[in-house]
Every structure is written in C-alpha cells, then in structure tokens.
C-alpha cells in the first residue's frame, strides 16, 4: 500500500464507518467543508478534551475562554489581517480556475521560500510553468482569505465583520478582562478552542486544508526578558501532546522557520510537521509573537495593556508565546498513524490502532446469536452495566460474529465482548483484543 492508496483508504473508511463525510454531500458538496459523523465527532471531542485537560485543567497558570466568532472589524484591522492575511493567487488564463501560486510552484519542483509576488511571477514566466490543465497562468496576486459578512440589517462599511480566521484574536481581546478578574502572576496563559474560517484558494488533502476548521490556541503571556524559557517550556509541551496523541516520535519533526519565512512580527517560529500520507506537512505551530498583538490593541483601542509586577512599579506590555494546534490536522494524524492492514486467517483485515483513550468506542458488546433470547437478555444486562460505567460502549448484534469483529476493528474499538452459552453456565464472557485478535474468557467484573 503506497501513501496515496493509504490516504484514499482512510478517506473511504472515514465515510463508510461514520467518521467524516464531505460537507453538504446530499447536494453535491461544498468544497473545503467536512461533516463529522457519530464516530468522528467523538474522536474529535476526545482529542479536544484531552488538550483541555492537559493545558487548562491540570495547570494553575492557564485560563480558558470562549469568545464570539464574530468580532468588531477593528480587531482584524489592528491585527493586520485585513491588510495582509493573504495567499498568493494565480489564475488559469483559459479555464479561469484559481490556484495557490506557491503550491503550483512547489509541485513543479521549485523552492518558493521568501519569494515575493513579483519573484513568483518571474519564476512562472522564466520556466514556462503551466496550470494543471496545461494552460498559461496570470501574474501572481494576493487574495485575502477572510470570509466577509455584515452584521445587522444595514449593509454598509460600518457593519462589516469577518468569520474569524484564527481563534487567537479572541484571546488577545480578552487578555485585559481576565487580568482584571483574576490578576494572575506572570507568566500565565489563555486558551481557546473553536471554529476558524479561511477562504483557502484550493482546499485539498481531505481535512488537512479546509475552509472551516477548528483550532486550539494558547497565548502565554511572559516577561519579555524571559521569553526563551517559556518558548522551551512550550516546545516540550508540544512533544508531550504529540505523545499523548499516540503519534510515533519519528514521524514528528521540528522545522525551525527561517526569518524570511516567518510572520514579520515573529522572532522565532517552529513548525511541528508530521509525516502524513500526503507528505511531511505542518501539524501545528509554535511562535514567539513579541508584544505585536497587545501592542496593536493598546495603540488602536487606547486602553492600557500593561502588566504591573505585583508589589513593584515594574510595568510592561507582556510578550507572547503561542502554541497553535489544528484539530482536523490532529484527527488526520491520529487516523493515519492508526490505520493498519494485516492478515488474519489468510484474509486481509483493516483496523484502526487508536490509543484506547481516543477511541470513540471503548467496548462493543454482542450476544453470540441474536435469535437466542437468553443470550440477548444476558448480553443486554452486561451492556447496560458497562455503559453506565464507561459511557462509550456499543451494542452490536448485526450480522455474524466475524462481521462484527471486522466492523469494530475498522472503527478502532479496543475490545469486543461476546456473550455465549458458556456465559449462561459460569458467567464468563469472551473478550477479544483488537490488535492481537486474541480471545480470553473473563468475568464481566474483571473488565
Ligand atoms: P499552512 O501553512 O498549512 O496554511 P498556516 O501556517 O497558515 O498553515 P497557522 O496560521 O499557523 O497555519 O494556523 C495554526 C494551525 O491551524 C495550523 O498549524 C493548522 O494545524 C491549522 N490550520 C491552518 N489552516 C488550516 C486549514 N485550512 N485547514 C485545517 N487546519 C488548518
């Protein structure tokens, strides 16, 4: 199985088994949107809850927020998004389809690091780079990726708003509120999870690049003289996170982003890349954003963003370390490292080797035969008991036992429990392990 096949198999399994469907599928879809089905939403929530537990609940220097998606347009003017949140766009002169110029050039084997729009246009002209349809390309120009809308019944410049393209600004705009409510010691952080929207020029690669997705972001406010130690702290935390997701260490790579590729306000950025089946690509980012955002807010709002060190007159606008995590990319990394094919009794088997704490279904309970009321009754009782204890337990009596195992393997259920005639005699059930397919008899109380 090569990487492309693997990707296709994952997309197909995700749809077939109720993890992820194309958005608005029944009407022919809407490019760049995906819907999470019953198992996908649980997997996604397990990942998001794990993050919240690790980075908010288990720490005493972190505060959660949940800001509105629609924000005053001044937020996006001050942050620079209105002027510069752009990607380089190029158009096929014949079909008028539009593409990301940097992606086309990279796909054609050219390096685009640090190139301006004019440089990219020149590279296209000098090397006669064509569109995927083989046609000439326009000059490269910028395209702003924010979705624009208006708030309220009057459509004019003053009612313009945007669907947020990142959750970070909803954190910065609440920095002062949290400071006034809690006055935490420095360093401290604010965390937020939620939807972000980007009008990507060419969404692609399953959920990797979508137009609507979720982020989990932290803005960690620090004394400017101590930013390096906090950066190192978060760098280690990011590794703790990829380990908690069960991603193999050798598939995660740090990319120290060179200065001419960094956002202009960032003094240091590390992209954490993952070996996805689509190639080595960004999973999440860690950036030192200086006082760029709070400085902008202070200037544009006229409100003081300084932090005063308790018991002193020492005040300054804190600097910020930002670990920024994409939920869909985490889901895709987890799915692609879990996807496994092997052979059992001469037959090909597909299973998701999901870490137990992320698996959407932890246990499946079946009666061996569904037309034997005494087995069904006993299995139902065990199911009810386990469901009360663990929640994520599935009742499965569809098809024969082999089919049930195959289905549960495909959705990554770590253990299947079968109630059979021996259960009626001695109370034991069969427990079958997803990864080894080994079966053991145990008392339900030992589960
Ligand atoms: P890329 O270079 O891949 O476009 P980015 O550098 O623009 O990503 P950031 O602005 O740093 O991404 O966003 C932080 C995180 O949000 C990314 O690391 C990624 O996990 C996630 N993310 C960004 N854009 C998308 C998208 N279009 N679809 C899914 N996740 C995304």
Rounded Cα distance between 395 and 387, Å, is 9
User: Residue ranges per domain, the chain?
Assistant: 3-71+185-335, 361-446
* Residues 3-71+185-335, CATH architecture: 2-Layer Sandwich (3.30)
Read off the pTM: 0.95
The pLDDT score that the predictor gives to residue 120 is: 95
Residue from 325, 227, 222 nearest 271 by CA: 325
Q: What is the pLDDT of residues 221-259, one digit of tens each?
A: 999 999 999 999 999 999 999 999 999 999 999 999 998
The token pair at 144 is 């702003």
Which of the following CATH numbers is that of domain 361-446: 1.10.10.10, 3.40.50.800, 3.40.50.2020, 2.130.10.10?
3.40.50.800
Give the CB-side neighbour count of residue 246, counting CA atoms within 13 A.
Answer: 20
Q: In this structure, are residues 197 and 147 in contact, taking their beta carbons and an 8 Å threshold?
A: yes
Residue from 314, 442, 336, 317 nearest 4 by CA: 336
Which stretches in the chain have pLDDT values below 70? Answer: none
The pLDDT score that the predictor gives to residue 10 is: 97
Q: Which atom of ligand 1 is nearest to the CA of 272?
A: 18
**145, 209, 214, 332, best to mutate for ligand 1 pocket (most atoms within 8 Å of CB):** 209
The pLDDT score that the predictor gives to residue 128 is: 94
Residue from 69, 152, 81, 79 nearest 301 by CA: 79
Q: At what angle do helices 327-338 and 3-16 cross, to 10 degrees?
A: 110
Average pLDDT taken over every residue of the chain? 95
**145, 211, 213, best to mutate for ligand 1 pocket (most atoms within 8 Å of CB):** 213
The pLDDT score that the predictor gives to residue 328 is: 98
Whole-number Cα distances in Å, 248 to 64, 256, 308, 337, 340? 29, 20, 43, 8, 14
Phi, psi (degrees; rounded to nearest 5) at 166: -160, 155
Site residues for ligand 1, CB cut-off 6 Å: 198, 200, 209-210, 213, 215, 282, 284-285, 324, 326, 328-329
Q: What is the DSSP letter of 67?
A: -
Residue from 99, 105, 92, 100 nearest 133 by CA: 92
The pLDDT score that the predictor gives to residue 399 is: 87
Residue from 171, 165, 174 nearest 210 by CA: 165
CA–centroid distance, residue 326 to ligand 1 (Å): 7
Q: Are strands 252-256 and 268-276 parallel, antiparallel or unpaired?
A: antiparallel
């Amino acid at each position: 199985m090569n990487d492309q096949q693997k990707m296709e198999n994952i997309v197909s399994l995700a749809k077939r088994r109720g993890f992820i469907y194309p958005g608005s599928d029944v009407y022919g879809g809407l490019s760049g949107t995906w819907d999470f089905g019953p198992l996908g939403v649980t997997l996604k929530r397990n990942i998001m809850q794990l993050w919240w537990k690790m980075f908010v609940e288990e720490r005493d220097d972190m505060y959660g927020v949940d800001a509105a998606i629609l924000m005053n347009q001044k937020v996006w003017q001050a942050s620079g998004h209105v002027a510069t949140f752009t990607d380089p766009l190029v158009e096929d002169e014949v079909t008028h389809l539009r593409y990301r110029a940097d992606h086309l050039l990279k796909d054609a084997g050219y390096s685009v690091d640090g190139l301006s729009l004019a440089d990219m246009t020149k590279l296209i002209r000098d090397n006669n780079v064509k569109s995927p349809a083989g046609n000439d390309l326009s000059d490269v120009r910028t395209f702003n990726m924010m979705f624009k809308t208006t708030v309220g019944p009057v459509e004019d410049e003053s009612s313009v708003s945007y669907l947020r393209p990142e959750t970070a600004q909803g954190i910065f705009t609440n920095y002062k509120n949290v400071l006034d409510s809690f006055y935490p010691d420095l360093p401290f952080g604010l965390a937020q999870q939620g939807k972000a929207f980007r009008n990507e020029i060419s969404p692609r690669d399953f959920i990797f690049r979508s137009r609507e997705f979720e982020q989990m972001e932290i803005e960690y406010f620090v004394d400017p003289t101590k930013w390096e130690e906090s950066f190192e702290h978060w760098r280690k935390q990011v590794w703790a996170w990829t380990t908690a997701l069960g991603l193999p260490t050798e598939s995660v790579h740090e990319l120290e982003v060179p200065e001419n590729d960094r956002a202009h306000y960032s003094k240091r950025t590390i992209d954490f890349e993952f070996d996805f089946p689509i190639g080595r690509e960004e999973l999440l980012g860690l950036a030192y954003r200086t006082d760029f955002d709070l400085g902008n807010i202070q200037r544009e709002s006229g409100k003081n963003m300084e932090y005063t060190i308790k018991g002193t007159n020492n005040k300054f606008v804190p600097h910020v370390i930002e670990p920024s995590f994409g939920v869909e990319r985490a889901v895709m990394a987890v799915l692609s490292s879990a996807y496994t094919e092997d052979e059992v009794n001469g037959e090909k088997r597909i299973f998701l080797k999901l870490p137990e704490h992320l698996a959407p279904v932890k246990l499946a309970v079946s009666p061996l035969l569904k037309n034997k009321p005494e087995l069904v009754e006993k299995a139902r009782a065990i199911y009810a008991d386990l469901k009360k204890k663990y929640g994520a337990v599935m009742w499965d009596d569809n098809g024969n036992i082999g089919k049930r195992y195959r289905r549960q393997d495909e959705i990554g259920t770590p253990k299947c429990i079968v109630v059979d005639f021996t259960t009626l005699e001695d109370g034991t059930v069969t427990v079958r392990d997803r990864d080894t397919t080994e079966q053991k008899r145990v008392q339900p109380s030992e589960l």
